[in-house]
Structure 1
Amino acid sequence: MKSYIYIYCFLLVVSIIKTSAQECNNDIHTGEGTFYDGVAGGVFGNCSLPVATGDYMHCALNNIDYDSSNACGSCIEVTGIKGSVILNVVDRCPECASGDVDMTMDAFAMIAEVIDGRVPISWKFVPCETMLNGETIKINFKEGSSEFWTAIQFRDINHAISKMEYQLPDNTWKNTNRELYNFFIETSGIPSPMNLRITSILGEELIFENIVLNLNEDFDTGLQFSTPEECNQILSIPELNTSGEIMLYPNPTSSIIHLTENARKWKLVNSSGKTLDQGFGKEIDISSYSNGIYYLLLEEKKTMKIVKR
């Protein structure tokens, strides 16, 4: 009975605080797009974030926009002559000029011809929600962390994190330094259990209480940063009818997805660029595919992302 009471006392209690006003992070950046091998299948990128084997929808940002690792874990939408693609920022390109994005060849092929090698692009930060598939924020403690030296990383974030703080015994909050390799470090250590507060680039705050230091596995907070309606990148169906652009709906979906115009030639590919289906018309059935991200290549050289849930 004593053991049961001890464990219960340290169950996580999570609270959320939202600022009264959030700002959209939708400035348009311009530069050049290039490609490299990427870091799929490990934690080799400068952001120290795990990238699954076969996941080529990621990129490296130039030093300026990498912003001392503040961009790590965020998502950007890159647009080139062939179309657009959404990528997760997991790496840094030290030799790239301001505005440049170095992406995998698979991603590059969706916005330009690979043979071109270096092309003009525009891009902006977007929510990661379509890539996360409902995942909530995870807390990772770096190997070697203890109550005397503590290194913390946040994974599966919808928006970039601008600040992390931890609560002191007097209930005030202390800001924590973030290293180039994307860990918040407190060199004097943070006693466990701890209360942590993170702030998104849009200004939203989340508080995680009674977090116990654990080097064996990430802790799932069960919470995620939100996106203000005016910043949301997913258009509603009424907007589709008035935009005059080719759009897909509903997106995300679990079965049939519709194009807003008839008689249109398309090709459906997975995140690795493999062709899964192709056809001619305004309805695409994706019910037989597993949950994840797919891309629709249109005859107008436009690329559109589909989220299967």
Structure 2
Amino acid sequence: MKSHIYIFCFLVVISVIKISAQECNDTVHTGEGTFYDGVAGGTFGNCSLPVAAGDYMHCALNNIDYDGSNACGACIEVTGVKGSVILNVVDRCPECASGDVDMTMEAFDMIADVIDGRVPITWKFVPCETMANSETIKINFKEGSSEFWTAIQFRDINHAISKMEYQLPDNTWMNTNRELFNFFIETSGIPSPMNLRVTSILGEELIFENIVLDLNEDFDTGLQFSTPEGCNQELSIPEFDVTEAIVLYPNPTSSIIHLTENANKWKLVNSSGKILDQGSSKEIDLSSYSNGIYYLLLEDKKTMKLVKQ
């Protein structure tokens, strides 16, 4: 997708950071997890982002959460019955329901048994700090870009980008439309060099100045989105290794889950910590709840995870 139409030899870049009030993006989503072949080895995903050969830590989001490509490049932490995995959003799953995540088989195997095929999951957006090449944001100009038609993509971002603007001669900022394939496009073109301003989903603004259009290679901005202290922490509901004295069965279940007589009083909560039911019965009916992960809070402050499927 590279071209050599316009190559500029001289480049002076001064980058400035402006931080607006930031808000955490740690909403816990529930849905079903599935797997597909993935898009490693090219820019084959709907986000048009490069995925290295052999990199299976990526996924496709459902149409709702893909949000017109606003989720592209962000990272999510997916949790299933076997554990959690952090994945980069690089693709879209048009047939998936809201909350669903379609991941590679290698990633799926880290959160559930592959033989199950479709499993209840929870997930939330997290910083991409643990992913490779996430140190600084890169700017990519799509093939065919010029001062008369300009398409821009941001790569290796720490948080999802909600908006891109470019500066006009009168120093005001012009918002740019983002396409489903994850390029910000100005159909009338952006003169080079240009000043760009991007806003993260958390509200932080980064300004990149004197960016020269270059179709030969991505430009390294030297900057990255930050994460406010206290954001994207672990779920407030702790997990622990189940002792032999307490047993839940069957787990997962589609309806009734049984407790041993040693469980005593309990509270049933969802992944957001909302209390759904409480009591001391040795049977809990989950048939009226949506598929997903729930937690049982015991009176001795221990917590157990249960799965409705």
Pairwise TM-score range, normalised by the shorter structure: 0.7 to 0.9
Per-residue CA deviation, residues 44-84 of structure 1 (Å, 9 max, x unaligned), is 00000000011000000000000000000000000000000
Q: Conserved in 2, the CA contact under 8 Å of 1:132 and 1:158?
A: no
Query: 1:261 corresponds to which residue?
Result: none
Calculate the aligned-residue CA RMSD, in Å.
Answer: 1.9
Q: Which has the higher helix share?
A: 1
Per-residue CA deviation, residues 214-264 of structure 1 (Å, 9 max, x unaligned), is 0000000000000001115489xxxxxxx7868xxxxxxxxxxxxxxxxxx
3-state SS of the aligned residue for 1:230?
coil
Query: 1:78 corresponds to which residue?
Result: 78
Q: CA deviation at 1:128?
A: 0.4
3-state SS of the aligned residue for 1:107?
helix
Query: 1:90 corresponds to which residue?
Result: 90
Give unmatched runs, 5+ long, in structure 1.
Answer: 1-5, 236-242, 247-301, 303-309
Identity, % of aligned positions: 85
- Whole-Å Cα distance in 2 between the matches of residues 234 and 51 of structure 1? 27
Counting only pairs closer than 5 Å after superposition, residues 149-160 of structure 1 correspond to structure 2 as 149-160=149-160
Query: 1:13 corresponds to which residue?
Result: 14
* Equivalenced residues, count: 233
Per-residue CA deviation, residues 244-289 of structure 1 (Å, 9 max, x unaligned), is 868xxxxxxxxxxxxxxxxxxxxxxxxxxxxxxxxxxxxxxxxxxx
Q: CA deviation at 1:36?
A: 0.1
- Whole-Å Cα distance in 1 between the matches of residues 162 and 130 of structure 2? 21
- TM-score normalised by the chain length of structure 2: 0.73
Counting only pairs closer than 5 Å after superposition, residues 25-64 of structure 1 correspond to structure 2 as 25-64=25-64
Give unmatched runs, 5+ long, in structure 2.
Answer: 1-7, 242-304
Query: 1:128 corresponds to which residue?
Result: 128
3-state SS of the aligned residue for 2:130?
helix
3-state SS of the aligned residue for 1:169?
coil
After TM superposition, what 4+ stretches of structure 1 lie above 4 angstroms from structure 2? 243-246
- Whole-Å Cα distance in 2 between the matches of residues 150 and 47 of structure 1? 17
1:226 equivalent in alignment to 2:226:
yes
- TM-score normalised by the chain length of structure 1: 0.73
Per-residue CA deviation, residues 145-194 of structure 1 (Å, 9 max, x unaligned), is 00000000000000000000000000000000000000000000000000
- Whole-Å Cα distance in 1 between the matches of residues 239 and 229 of structure 2? 21
3-state SS of the aligned residue for 1:99?
coil
Q: Conserved in 1, the CA contact under 8 Å of 2:16 and 2:206?
A: yes
